[in-house]
Amino acid sequence: MGIHVGANKKGSGEVASKGTRPSWLMKGKAAQGVAQEHSDAAEERKANRGKLWRYYLRPEESGRIFFLNGDIVTEGEEKGSFDIDFVEEHKVSVHGSKVPQFYVCVSRTETCPLCEAGNFASFVGLFGIIDTTVYTNSEGKEFKNRKRIYAAKGQTIKKLAKKANANGGSLAGVMLDVSRSDSRSATVGDDFDLVGAWPLEKLGKRVDPEKWEDVIEVPDFAEELTYLSAAEMREKFHFDDPSGPGYQGQSDDAPNYPAGKGDEDDSMPPIGGDDGGGGDVSDSEIPF
């Protein structure tokens, strides 16, 4: 002890001598770059704070929701499908966060870095819902009737279309009990029971007699979804950095939208392509 006393008396704050500066001490350009990254991240957090959350169920969880939109087209080529917004998007798991983030796939206009990295984009239909389930946060505060984005893939959309068709051609005002069977089922639930249907105004007033119009306003998805250009994605996920992208691949908790196949039934495709039953199955037993 005491060997170094006085060794640094000239360099007021410097501990290590020149040439042995640890790499994590940053200065000048490098420091400015990281400062920028931090302020960009803070900006993004700020921007996302006001955004609506996605509806999500844990395996074996259930909830009760009602829809704010979801009319079925009654004529023309689109007849029978939902008159709603659709988007191709990437799900990105973030280290240290339980909540995944979603980014619009840019492959329609430029090379998409997330596609290139092997993160499969999902094609989803967008609904606005009110989640009537009561949640209690860690401080014991209760929340209910929160507006959520319900992003549904192909199989879910087919199930919802059946409910809509059974309800005069719209999901707006339709209340469903939703449950999720297991970890392989769609995160928005895979089983739907009709509770009933009411005029949206009535449902809105039940939630908030004064601000009911806000309650039933369909989310502005152009505002709610996060769109980054390819360049912004590369920067955000450090795709140009050989030390590795700051993302994880898409989790396989739900099947991708089966593009181009429009006539399967609603059952989930067997995971791994095996029906588990073994033995021979003759063509006549296959139910389609």
Q: Position of tokens 């990281």?
A: 34
Nearest-angstrom CA–CA distance, 254 and 241: 30
Compute the C-alpha angle 109/111/112, nearest 5°.
95
75 versus 240: smaller Cβ distance to Zn ion: 240
> Of 114 and 216, which CB lies nearer to Zn ion in the complex structure?
114
Q: How far is the CB of 118 from Zn ion (least distance, A)?
A: 10
Nearer to Zn ion, 90 or 180 (CB): 90
CB of 233 to Zn ion, least distance (A): 9
Least distance from C-beta 113 to Zn ion, angstroms? 8
Helix residue ranges per DSSP H, 50-117: 113-116
Distances (CA, A) of 253 to 66, 128, 261, 268: 24, 22, 20, 12
Q: Which CB, 126 or 215, lies closer to Zn ion?
A: 126
CB of 27 to Zn ion, least distance (A): 37
How far apart, in whole angstroms, are the C-alpha atoms of residue 194 and residue 68?
15
**Is the CB of 59 or the CB of 246 nearer to Zn ion?**
246
CB of 47 to Zn ion, least distance (A): 21
Rounded (5°) CA angle 124-126-131? 120
**Interface residue list for Zn ion (CB under 5 A):** 105, 107, 112, 114-115, 121
